[in-house]
Amino acid sequence: MAIEHLKRSKPETERAEDDAKVRATVEATLKDIETRGDAAVRDLSEKFDGYTPKAFRLTPSEIEAAMQKVTTREMEDIKFAQTQIRRFAEAQRATMTDTEVETMPGVILGHKNIPVQSVGCYVPGGKFPMVASAHMSVLTASVAGVPRIVASAPPVKGAPHPAIVAAMQLGGAHEILVLGGIQAVGAMAIGTESIDPVHMLVGPGNAFVAEAKRQLFGRVGIDLFAGPTETMVIADDTVDAEMCATDLLGQAEHGYNSPACLITNSRRLAEATLAEIDRLLEILPTAETASVSWRDYGDVILCDTYDEMLSVANDMAYEHVQVMTDRDDWFLDNMHSYGALFLGPRTNVANGDKVIGTNHTLPTKKAGRYTGGLWVGKFLKTHSYQKVTSDEAATLVGEYGSRLCMLEGFVGHAEQCNVRVRRYGGINVPYGEAAPYRGAAE
């Protein structure tokens, strides 16, 4: 395989050093929240956001006042996006059915899909107010039937962001908090004097939010490790440098550490894209952020073949993967590790981020190797159950269970089976021994 890097991002060693600093900061902050509760949350909010209201939970009148600041056209746009996301989430929910089957006479097995009982939805709003994240988490949890949905976003210019509040309220949030960063996810997961803890955290965020979710996992469930954002463009000569450069920088503007990668089999396209990125960074209003991301976290990888392009893409397992080639469906059929695919030049990552209907909370840092993104199924727990409805089934299964338990040395387990064999089958199994074989079971 002849794979050439025309541009390389920061080496993994430097990224690991950055991660270690974030890890230590988050650990100390979460410990402070657990120890001091509301006082710690208030101090952190004042330090990072300059925001210290009487209460971080909005009242119904405060929610209404914020929504009044959203223009009619903005509200129509929010509702349009939520309609698309709701339609897809409802279609996904319809694929998840409860089931019950009689696997043998008298033995009934089944499972039920039960909503998580409380969810904390984090909506980023530091550098950019991520209105769409409210749709993706709050609305999807609502479609799943979660009975308590807590949504939190940082203040913007010292106040709740009107459009974020509107999206949360329309999406079905039961409680809306004006809190950002580690203090938001920490308060929702750990709980404070004024905020009841939730069972699960969802939503994207910066490196500190993502690390906080990682450290809180176990105490609560999480959707996945989501953030900082990553974007990959897989392209050949069927598209031009302007398209590729625009799609790379469109995600690099998220933050100073947002990886962006071009994989191509065209040297001409690769070199032209590098030049076009330099040109666009001269005119892009968010170039201050995007240029740092591109400098430190940008890659351009030149491959000989489509198979090499596929192999590199699967190995990197990026969050957003834009495919613009003469064989987009081939990549759809053969890619196995990614967050979401955007197939063909007519669509793009921004569509998925904001409006088209698929969820934008997606796995990063190679998590796409073992999980997909946030979807309605993440809010549902599949719980199994069993029933035995006849003496014959209780006896037959019990006999096998008794012998298999004794095979492993679990006498107490075996006796759970044996007591049923004695009562429902009338077979005298000596205490602490395996059920005997009989003609029908041999």
CA–CA separation, 207 and 364 (whole Å): 11
435 contacts: CB under 8 Å, gap ≥ 6: 398, 399, 400, 402, 403, 417, 418, 421, 427, 429
Question: Which residues are 343's β-sheet partners?
Answer: 323
Q: How many residues does the chain have?
A: 442
CB of 253 closer than 8 Å to CB of 277: no
Candidates 387, 386, 389, 381; CA nearest to 112 is 381
Q: What is the dihedral of CA 350, 250, 14, 340, to 10 degrees?
A: 20
Cβ neighbours, 10 Å, residue 431: 10
Between the CA of residue 31 and those of 25, 53, 55, 152, what are the distances in Å? 10, 23, 22, 20
Q: Report how far residue 197's alpha carbon sits from residue 190's, in angstroms, rounded to the nearest whole number.
A: 6
Whether residue 5 is annotated as binding a ligand: the answer is no
8 A C-beta contact, residue 416 and residue 399: no
Contact 44, 26 (CB under 8 A): no
- Please confirm whether the linkage preceding 228 is cis (ω < 30° from 0): yes
Out of 253, 319, 399, 415, pick the active-site residue: 319
Active site residue 360: no
**Does 320 appear as a known binding residue?**
yes
Catalytic residue among 320, 360, 399, 415: 320
Q: Is 122 annotated as a binding residue?
A: yes
Distance of CA 246 to the CA centre of its chain: 25
Whether residue 183 is annotated as binding a ligand: the answer is yes
Active-site residue flag, 433 = no
Residues 149 and 137: their CA atoms lie apart, in Å, by 9
Helix and strand counts by DSSP (H, E) for the chain: 17, 14
Three-state SS letters, 249-271: HHHHCCCCCCCEEEEECCHHHHH
Amino acid at 283: I
The answer to the question of whether 117 is labelled as a binding residue is no
Residues at the binding site for substrate are 229, 251, 254, 320, 353, 408, 413
Residues at the binding site are 122, 183, 206, 229, 251, 254, 320, 353, 408, 413
Where in the sequence numbering do the catalytic residues fall?
Answer: 319-320
Residues at the binding site for Zn(2+) are 251, 254, 353, 413
